[in-house]
């Protein structure tokens, strides 16, 4: 199979591949990385010669594979995509966690109208964080001494 790309499409593909492999493998220890995706990225990165995009990739001799260059890692578009993704994950995880906590604390998980409760709590937290970000968020230390 052969797929043809313009130089601009190839550059977009490199950014896309870099971002998705970052999401899949970034936090994993080296022995836990998903090699299938690292190898696919390396293969895509290796095609730079066809598009004169050598500033976006580099060959890592130690691992015998192509990787993203610092230029790609610090690209403004890539940084913006990753920041947007991280922010979205942060806020959604925070709101979902607080909603789950409140449902558990108020024993609403067995309620007949749980979807309504979830919607109310979610709306409450989204409004709060939209207005105040984390300014009003506090962690209360519990005293476990008896």
Provide the residue ranges of all domains of the chain, joining segments of one domain with +.
Answer: 7-73, 81-132
Q: With beta carbons less than 8 A apart as the criterion, state whether 52 and 44 touch.
A: no
Q: How confident is the model at residue 52 (pLDDT cuts 50, 70, 90)?
A: confident
Q: Is the pLDDT of residue 89 over 70?
A: yes
Q: Is the pLDDT of residue 10 over 70?
A: yes
What pLDDT is recorded for position 144? 66
Distance, CA of 88 to CA of 19 (rounded, Å): 15
Residues of the chain by 3-state class (helix, strand, coil), percent to 5: 60, 5, 30
Closest CA to 17 of 81, 63, 62: 81
What pLDDT is recorded for position 70? 78
Average pLDDT over residues 49-64: 77
Say how many C-beta atoms besides its own lie within 10 A of residue 69's C-beta. 20
Average pLDDT over residues 97-124: 86
Average pLDDT over residues 111-133: 91
How many helices (H) and strands (E) in the chain? 5, 2
What pLDDT is recorded for position 145? 59
Q: Is the pLDDT of residue 122 over 80?
A: yes
What pLDDT is recorded for position 7? 85
């Amino acid at each position: 199979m052969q797929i043809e790309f313009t130089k601009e499409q190839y550059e977009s593909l490199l950014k896309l591949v870099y971002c998705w492999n970052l999401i899949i493998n970034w936090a994993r220890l080296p022995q836990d990385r998903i090699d299938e995706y690292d190898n696919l990225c390396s293969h895509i990165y290796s095609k730079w010669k066809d598009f004169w995009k050598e500033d976006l990739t580099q060959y890592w001799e130690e691992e015998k594979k192509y990787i993203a260059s610092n230029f790609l890692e610090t690209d403004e578009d890539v940084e913006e995509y990753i920041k947007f993704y991280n922010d979205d994950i942060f806020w959604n995880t925070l709101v979902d966690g607080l909603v789950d906590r409140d449902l558990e604390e108020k024993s609403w998980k067995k309620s007949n109208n749980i979807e309504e409760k979830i919607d109310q709590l979610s709306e409450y937290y989204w409004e709060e964080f939209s207005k105040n970000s984390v300014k009003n968020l506090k962690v209360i230390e519990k005293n476990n001494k008896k």
